[in-house]
Amino acid sequence: MLGELKNYKSLILDYSFLNDYAGTPVFGELTDILSANNTEVYVSKAFKMLHYCVLHQMESSSNAKANSMKVLCSYLIPDKRLHLVPASGTNDFMNSIKGVEVPCILTTKKSIFAKRLYELKPDYSGAIALVHKNECTVYPSLEEMYQANPPAQLSKLAENNKYLDSPVMASISDIVTNEDKTKNFELVKRMSGGAEGMVFTTDSRTLVAKIYHKGVITPLRWAKLKRLSQLGITSAGFCIPRDLLFFKDVPVGYTMPLGKGTTLGTVFDGPDAVVEHFPDWTREDVVDTLINLIEKYLYLHMHDVIAGDIQLKNALIYNSKSVYLIDMDSVQVGNLPCPVGTEEFTDPRLWGKNFAGFVRELKDEDYSIAMLVFSILFCGLHPFATRNGAETLREEIINKQFPYTLDCSNEEHIPLGGYNNIWRYLPEQIKTMLYNTFRLGMGYEAIQWYDAVLNYKDELRTRKYTDPEAYKIFPLKTDLKQKETDLTVKPSEPKAEEEAEPVKRRFEKRVFANAPTGRFVSQNAPGPSPFKPIQSDEPQAPAPAPSETKNEPDNNKKGRFFGFF
């Protein structure tokens, strides 16, 4: 199947191939080719980080993928033929590999990398091998791949509003069955209810059942639930459909794992709320929570799923290491669209559109990930919440009135409550990315945000900062010049014994009077939107993150690959 790959001196390997074919004969065929032909293999930093995401999810197939990674490294590392390009963004990576000899990209049809190639259309003169359903097609150029494999069109089910309703509603003590009637579930106790339906505990200890109200289940929703249940995502932290449920042979809902904790929106609702729920947290706990969230959204992207409606109420948090994504029946799966979205978390380019009427791309979710990064790091504050600003949050977003500056020279419009100090103590990489996104309209891929936040975590973990305020959720006001002097230390400088561990203390309660005004929710159903589309130029191409603009790889050198184990 992969025989044509032996004709290329350099293989640009995408992680999706290992993710999909680890432990299979197809992967064995690749290692045989690499062994017999002395092929040079190049991978991006994203390759490494996506592997982290998979391993951190603790799914049943993680061992196979970890073992396949070790096998791959054992073939390539001794001969120094595995090259890690220190670039997580697609454009940066593609620019870095321009000098490799006779290259061929090996990827899969639904991978994150392949989708980014479609979105960005980078300059690349080599071949690309696309693997799909155990078939491998090699295209001489990206352009030929684009023509042969156009993007998926919106499913016709999105236009079908016929409801699949049961004549009788299932309730407490009723027995519902799965699709092939091999499993029965008794609805034991009602847990919660909402506009769409009710959630019940069942006689299965690990699963709960969501039973929809009448007039909710459309063919699109049911097709999406079926597709989600077949993805094989069994990792903890995803309250994703497991079994489709029927009552009197009519679809009524689905089972899902039970999430634990409180919604993110409740915890990250300002200083008082965070302190009340987690009084002993430090800045590292906040960063851990953010890492956990981004990993989960990347993991969905790897399964051809775009969350669509990212917002703080769509996740539960038990602690910084245990976060659960909920309300997952609205996500986009393949060409089955996500019909909902919260405007303040949605890229303004999409405002005014009927979300059920188009297939979102990964770049449409990048803005939402950036919003998530800011909201978590600032404990629930919206990036466009300003002091003495416009009347509504929407106006601030449209005008890109981001109140923070890179040099902290103007804090006039930053909300009161210590948010200026949070901004001051952020790493320069994250500040630059946030400023470029919300002030300049630039964009960064989700994997680039993951990279930046992991770097921040490493700085906190290794005690890079000498100023103890840097480790607090809400740093106290310090003199800026003193802060710039004390914030970092050279590796050779010894650390004081009392600074060996992050400061753990119960913070004083503070008044949170900075809640953003003007919350808007985009229209959920077809028809005219109450909001007019924003007329603006397309966002500029993502600029390299600070960590990626240094130490450009010399592709003529054979560098040792390390860091996976």
pLDDT of residue 479: 52
Backbone angles phi, psi at 43, to 5 degrees: -130, 155
Radius of gyration of the chain (CA): 25
Asked which of 224, 257, 290 is the last residue of a domain, the reply is 257
pLDDT band at 58 (very low <50, low <70, confident <90, very high): low
CB 308 within 8 A of CB 341: yes
Contact 115, 362 (CB under 8 A): yes
**Of the listed ranges 164-168, 179-183, 200-204, the one predicted with least confidence:** 164-168
Task: Decide if pLDDT at 453 tops 90.
Answer: yes
In a domain, residue 378? The reply is yes
Taking only the tens place, the pLDDT of each residue in 121-146 is 999 999 999 999 889 999 999 999 99
Q: Which residue has the tokens 């069942």?
A: 202
Give the CATH number, domain containing residue 95: 3.40.50.1010
Name the more confident of 352 and 558: 352
Q: Report the chain's mean pLDDT, rounded to a whole number.
A: 85
Domain boundary among 257, 287, 318: 257
What DSSP string describes 256-324? Answer: EEPP-SEEHHHHSSSHHHHHHH-TT--HHHHHHHHHHHHHHHHHHHHTTEE-----GGGEEEEETTEEE
* 3-class SS string, 151-182: CCCCCHHHHCCCCCCCCCCCCCCCEEECCCCC
DSSP-assigned letters across all residues of 401-454: -----TT----TTSPTTTHHHHHHTS-HHHHHHHHHHHTT-----HHHHHHHHH
- pLDDT at residue 565 tops 90: no
Label residue 159 by pLDDT band (50, 70, 90).
confident
Mean pLDDT confidence for 344-367: 94
* 275 and 250, same domain (yes or no): no
In the numeric block, the tokens 């359903």 are attached to 133
H-helix segments, 164-256 = 219-229
* Within-domain flag for 124: yes
Q: Rounded CA gap, 43 and 454, in Å?
A: 19
Give the lowest-confidence range in 18-22, 216-220, 229-233, 498-502.
Answer: 498-502
Helix (H) or strand (E) holding 56: helix 45-56
CA distance 41 to 57: 27
One domain, residues 244 and 272? no
Q: Evaluate if residue 538 carries a pLDDT over 70.
A: no
- According to the model, what pLDDT value does residue 59 have? 66
Stretch 375-395: mean pLDDT: 92
403 domain-assigned: yes
> What local confidence, expressed as pLDDT, does residue 147 receive?
96
The arithmetic mean of pLDDT across residues 222-229, rounded, is: 96
- Asked if residue 57 belongs to a domain, the reply is yes
- Is the pLDDT at 521 greater than 90? The verdict is no
**Whether residue 379 is found in the same domain as residue 233:** no
CATH number at residue 226: 3.30.200.20
User: Does residue 527 surpass a pLDDT of 80?
Assistant: no
pLDDT of residue 276: 94
Question: Where residue 523 falls among pLDDT bands split at 50, 70, 90?
Answer: very low
Cα separation, 147 vs 128, in Å, equals 13
Residues 289 and 422 in one domain: yes
Those residues whose C-beta lies under 8 Å from the C-beta of residue 223, and which sit 6 or more positions away, are 155, 157, 336
Tokens of 359: 């297939």
Same domain for 341 and 224? no
Angle between helices 62-76 and 45-56 (to 10 degrees): 150
Going by the DSSP 8-state scheme, the letter that residue 39 receives in this structure is -
pLDDT at residue 22, as a whole number = 93
Query: CATH number of the domain that 319 lies in?
Result: 1.10.510.10
Instruction: Give percent above pLDDT 70 in the chain.
Output: 84
Q: Is 461 among the domain residues?
A: yes
Give a yes or no: residue 153 inside a domain.
no
Residue 259 in this model has a pLDDT that exceeds 60: yes
Query: In the structure encoding, which two tokens stand for residue 291, read together?
Result: 């890492």
Q: Which residue has the higher pLDDT, 70 or 542?
A: 70
pLDDT at 343: 87
97 and 190, same domain (yes or no)? no
User: Which secondary-structure segment (H or E) carries 143?
Assistant: helix 142-148
Nearest partner of 240 among 361, 360, 324, judged by Cα:
324
Average pLDDT over residues 196-207: 93
Tell me whether residue 564 is in a domain.
Answer: no
- pLDDT tens digits, residue range 494-512? 443 333 344 433 333 333 3
Domain that holds residue 252: 175-257
Residue 325 pLDDT level (bands cut at 50, 70, 90): very high
Q: How far is CA 65 from CA 52, 69, 71, 371, 546, in A?
A: 11, 6, 10, 32, 31
Number of domains in the chain: 3
Asked if residue 159 is part of any domain, the answer here is: no
pLDDT > 90? residue 525: no
How far is the C-alpha of 198 from the C-alpha of 211, rounded, in Å?
5
Give the tens place of pLDDT for each residue, 457-491. 999 999 999 999 999 999 986 554 444 444 544 44
The reported pLDDT for the residue numbered 145 is 97
Q: Which residues of 118-152 are buried (b: 16+ CB within 10 A; e: fewer)?
A: ebbebebebbbbbbeeeebebbeebeebeeeeeee
What is the amino acid identity at position 175? I
Are 200 and 272 contained in the same domain? no
One domain, residues 135 and 180: no
Q: b/e per residue, 159-187, with b = 16+ CB within 10 A?
A: eeeeeebbeeebeeebebbbeeeeeebeb
Q: 336 and 188 share a domain?
A: no
Question: Do 179 and 298 belong to one domain?
Answer: no
CB 89 within 8 A of CB 332: no
Same domain, 213 and 241: yes
Claim to verify: residue 400 and residue 475 sit in the same structural domain: yes
Instruction: Tell me the mean pLDDT in the region 294-323.
Output: 95
Domain boundary among 222, 257, 292: 257
